[in-house]
Amino acid sequence: MRPLSIIAAGVFAAIAAPASAQTPPPAKPAPQMEHHSAASGWKELDAFHEVMAATWHPVSKSGDFSVVRAKADSLSATAKRWAASKVPTACDKKEIRDAIADVVKGSDAVAALVAKKAIDADVRKALHDLHERFEVVEHGCHM
């Protein structure tokens, strides 16, 4: 009966093995977005950033134009509110003011393309250019 005891011991060892030996490794964390997630302290910039991110990331990551087509007017209106707001002292530089003016023009251009039902490639190009000008402010305005 000795061989049976050895088999039983092996079966028991396999059943009693630590769960971690049978559990797959944890999933890798999701990659971090390249943008800052914290509020800047300039509420109008933060409001625009929220709409910009909501429209740009679906287009750039998966080619989904539904959000930008639905929110193009909001993108433009939010850019105008931002441009009309008081520029914080830390951000009051010609380069920043010029970039904000370009963001307003770019947001209007995106809204106009969406209104005329332009092809996705044209909307993508305009949104990309807008995003590039926004990043001038995002990276150049440190409060």
- In eight-state DSSP terms, residue 65 is -
Task: Return the closest-CA partner of residue 83 out of 113, 54, 42.
Answer: 42
| Domains of the chain: residue spans and CATH | 32-140 (1.20.120)
CA angle 27–31–32, rounded 5-degree value:
135
Q: What is the pLDDT along the chain (143 residues), one digit of tens a residue?
A: 555 444 444 444 444 444 444 544 444 433 333 444 456 789 999 999 999 999 999 999 999 999 999 999 999 999 999 999 999 998 999 999 999 999 999 999 999 999 999 999 999 999 999 999 999 998 988 76
Between CA 122 and CA 74 the distance in angstroms is 19
